[in-house]
Amino acid sequence: MVKMSVIYGHPTDPAAFERYYAETHMPLAAKIQGLRRFELSRVTGTPDGSKPAYYRMADLYFDSPEHMKQVMGTPQARATAADLKNFATGGVTLLVSEVIEA
């Protein structure tokens, strides 16, 4: 299994980010077909109590690298990716990982 992590930096206006994320971005993402699993997280802290380096994360799961390429090549996925520039004022980091079951 392969996971794409979308890691959001702290936005300049968290309330505006959350509103856009809920009302515009997530409805776009919901149209992406073929994902095995989709997981959203809001970072709430660090073990030592310092400010977290990141604000939010979204993890998208796929069967294989080929499956990820197929799904992310769809018009719905491309539209969702293109939307990032409209609200992610803290920047976005994308990581692709091989999921290793323990």
Tens of pLDDT, residues 47-83: 999 999 999 999 999 999 999 999 999 999 999 999 9
Domain 2-98 has CATH 3.90.870.40: no
What region does 12 belong to: left with phi over 0, alpha with psi -120 to 50, or beta? alpha
Tens of pLDDT, residues 8-34: 999 999 999 999 999 999 999 999 999
Distance CA 45, CA 48 (A): 8
| DSSP three-state, residue 24 | helix
Distance CA 8, CA 84 (A): 10
Distance CA 99, CA 102 (A): 9
